[in-house]
Structure 1
Amino acid sequence: MQRPSVRSKSEERSSHIMRAAAVGIEKEEMLASTPDSLLREQSSESEGIRGRFERIIRDAQNRIVAAVEEEDGEGKFREDAWARPGGGGGVSRVMQGGKVWEKAGVGVSVVYGTMPPEAYRAAKGNNSVNGASNGASGGVPFFAAGISSVMHPRNPFAPTMHFNYRYFETEEWNGIPGQWWFGGGTDITPSYVDEEDMRHFHGIYKRVCDNHDPAYYPKFKQWADDYFLCKHRNQRRGLGGIFFDDLNDRPQDEILAFSTEALGAVTESYLPLVQKHKNDPFTEQQKEWQQMRRGLYVEYNLVYDRGTTFGLKTAGRIESILMSLPLTARWEYCPPVDPTSPEAELVDACTNPRTWV
């Protein structure tokens, strides 16, 4: 019964951070070339957790982009980089019109901002900290870095995949203690159920979780099933994976190691599924079904996804924020689904989460 309260706290915190960051993050400026680091104070930050995490996500972006380009065989990622006047920035890499992937994106970002003390108190549930009440000016400085990706294959039997891993911290300010936490996860969104595929995907992440804490996989698998629920459809957008937030219950190095291994498992968990299905024959009706499932994906991302809403509410770079959306999608009015069909099986699996491993 403890996990739901953690999620509620996380959602409340995210809401306050979104509102606070809307006035605490500066507009980006496009760069002619990509810098080696996005950190504001590279000399002092590079050897700490900020620098270590940035290097991990930048290296992961390079490796994943190279692996996807190799598998696609034709498509190439476009790279855009930007910086913010007060520090931080991002690098987006997006491929459109590939042979295997219709659209794929991998983005990294480093964000510096401030949040009002009252937002911090509400997010942390601590009304005893000092802040605006004693006349102090300014806000609580925060730092956030992360990597996110969504990949939409052409073939309706090859699944869409999403991952996001992030690190967030606040600095000590006027008696308000600094805090840090990690969040993220990897999840899969097929248009058709292939149990062997799901055993492979979930099995990889169970192994990663078990390497760090046997309690992680059941907890984070359930968290993903809850988090990726499209409430107005009463369906998950896909068949889950792992998801976690506010993780700071053990030393930073331990959680950093877990996040790093989970991020490193992306290609192992996902690319074999694309290799297996990229040349499967399919009908026009099956392609239309994929397009409709993408429509639900769009609905979820724009209505519920905290990363997307955070970006939209903080005046972020809109093209990078919306790179997760598919190149094409479909919405039909009251589409009929044969209850004995493979399409109905997918709806059932998204409505009633299954145990895959």
Structure 2
Amino acid sequence: MAVPRPYMPLRRTLVNLAPRTSRTGSRVPFRKYSTEGKPPKPEPFTVWRPYLRLAVGVPFIGALIYSMMTGEVTELDSPSIVELDESLKKQSTISETSPMRLRMEKLIKEHQQKIVEELSRIDGKSFHSDTWNRPNGGGGISCVLQDGNVFEKAGVNVSIVYGELPRPAIEKMRADHKSFVGADVESLSFFAAGLSLVLHPHNPMAPTVHLNYRYFETSDPKDPINGEKNWWFGGGTDLTPSYLFPEDVKHFHQTIKDACDRHDATYYPRFKAWCDKYFYLPHRKESRGVGGIFFDDLDASFLESSATSSQNPQETLFSFVSDGLASFLPSYVPIIERRKDMPFTPAEKEWQQLRRGRYVEFNLVYDRGTSFGLRTPNARIESILMSLPRTAGWAYMDAVSGTRTEASTEEEEQQGEDKVREKELMDVLRHPRQWV
């Protein structure tokens, strides 16, 4: 039996980065994308390595995907799920009969490659791929583009994490996620896999976008391979513009809603409201952006409480997550292609820096994934902070977006038409809308 290494403290409550040229601002029709069907099977990245040894899994914390830890985990008794899954990958291709761990790993790798290839086409520069691995199974690939032609900073990360959940963390899990956990169980092995991305364009007319989809699994400690398993999915995507183009926001939300509606008409309104609530800065009394969808803890009990009935809840929710991932490029690519070459002024670039300051505030103060990662021993800091923009700014008592006082309100009124578009955005951030 292997000697356990020290556990990492985890928390269940935590779930889950002068104008350049004069450009034309003509309105180009949206490029058409289809969200139907499965993405074509891409050729593997040259950076892929046989690092991803899957372990007995535990769906636990979305923040594991953000933290992308590289510290050691407790070794598992033989035979382990790490060894089982490694053997399965060597013996045959991943199919619908494969464990969900392997299917989710395959899905997020395929979408990472597809997204990186499309963003590289748009930007004209290639991503830097950084492969990392965990000694007892798991690892990831961080694909980052910095100082590109279109994107000031863009990151698309895949993470496969295995580890041991200590008793205090187990006790914070939802009741239906620990059905087989007795009082004598001091730790649980967990599996977590996810794809996360954040894109920060140069042009202030082009919005920042964020996405994260993840899967978690836990196993009965008495029989990790053949025993009962608990699992759940989490994820979502949201848009953060510096200047408001209502047609862009409607397109983004409509594409997401279409993907949701193919599975359950109640998903979009529920997850949209969840997103508005999560991406909110209480100290500023405003939202980080114009929203999208956000969800967590999607499992069999979730389906039982919704209008959807299924004989195979895991398969049903995997299909929903697959469609959610497939909807990303159609939701964002037409927007970035439409806005990336629009002309902008130094003042508009400065406004973008102030809005990015809000992005930094949210991620460092409120985002659960970032908070968890920064408190995790041996965490991969570069991956945790990938979501932050390359540049950001703060201004004391900004008339439009700063702390509002009687004096600043007067100054704002005196500015007249100069800040109309900035005010339009602030109104939406302070009063979220139903876009579709």
| Same fold per superposition (TM over 0.5) | yes
Going from structure 1 to structure 2, the CA distance change for 1:149 and 1:13 (only over 3 Å counts) comes to closer
CA shift at 1:128, angstroms?
8.5
The structure showing larger relative contact order (alpha-carbon pairs under 8 Å, at least 6 residues apart) is 2
Instruction: Confirm or deny: 8 A CA contact 2:144 2:154 kept in the other structure.
Output: yes
Match of 1:78 in 2: 128
In structure 2, distance between residues paired with 1:253 and 1:345: 42
Of residues 368, 375, 386 in structure 2, which corresponds to 1:323? 386
Q: Secondary structure at the match of 1:163?
A: strand
Match of 1:211 in 2: 262
AA partner of residue 234 (structure 2): G
Going from structure 1 to structure 2, the CA distance change for 1:116 and 1:271 (only over 3 Å counts) comes to same
1:172 aligns to 2:220 (yes or no): yes
Q: Secondary structure at the match of 1:212?
A: coil
Going from structure 1 to structure 2, the CA distance change for 1:252 and 1:292 (only over 3 Å counts) comes to same
Of residues 357, 361, 365 in structure 2, which corresponds to 1:303? 365
* CA deviation vs aligned residue, 1:278-336 (integer Å, no higher than 9, x gap): 11111111100001100110111111112222322333211111111111110111111
Match of 1:271 in 2: 333
In structure 1, distance between residues paired with 2:13 and 2:235: 17
In structure 1, distance between residues paired with 2:202 and 2:179: 54
**What is the correspondence of 1:12-91 to structure 2 with a 5 Å cutoff?**
12=13, 14=15, 27=71, 41-44=85-88, 47-73=98-124, 75-91=125-141
Q: Is the deviation greater in 142-151 or in 173-182?
A: 173-182
Q: Secondary structure at the match of 1:53?
A: helix
State, as a whole percentage, how many aligned pairs show the same letter.
Answer: 49
Q: Structure 1, unaligned stretches of length 5 or more?
A: 1-9, 29-38
**What is the correspondence of 1:331-350 to structure 2 with a 5 Å cutoff?**
331-337=394-400, 338=412, 341-350=420-429
AA partner of residue 218 (structure 1): P
In structure 1, distance between residues paired with 2:12 and 2:398: 33
In structure 2, distance between residues paired with 1:309 and 1:89: 21
Going from structure 1 to structure 2, the CA distance change for 1:125 and 1:57 (only over 3 Å counts) comes to same
AA partner of residue 347 (structure 2): Q
Q: Secondary structure at the match of 2:172?
A: helix
Aligned Cα root-mean-square deviation (Å): 2.6
AA partner of residue 42 (structure 1): E
Q: Secondary structure at the match of 1:119?
A: helix
In structure 1, distance between residues paired with 2:275 and 2:328: 16
Instruction: Confirm or deny: 8 A CA contact 2:197 2:387 kept in the other structure.
Output: yes
* CA deviation vs aligned residue, 1:44-75 (integer Å, no higher than 9, x gap): 475210110011100001000000010112x2
Give the structure-2-normalised TM-score: 0.71
Q: Secondary structure at the match of 1:12?
A: coil
Runs (4+) of structure 1 moved beyond 6 Å? 126-129
Give the structure-1-normalised TM-score: 0.86
1:121 aligns to 2:183 (yes or no): no
Instruction: Confirm or deny: 8 A CA contact 1:13 1:122 kept in the other structure.
Output: no
Q: Report the count of equivalent residues.
A: 331
Going from structure 1 to structure 2, the CA distance change for 1:220 and 1:128 (only over 3 Å counts) comes to closer
In structure 2, distance between residues paired with 1:106 and 1:12: 25
Of residues 206, 222, 228 in structure 2, which corresponds to 1:158? 206
Q: Which has the larger helix fraction?
A: 1
Match of 1:103 in 2: 153
Q: Secondary structure at the match of 2:173?
A: helix
**What is the correspondence of 1:231-310 to structure 2 with a 5 Å cutoff?**
231-248=282-299, 249-250=302-303, 251-310=313-372
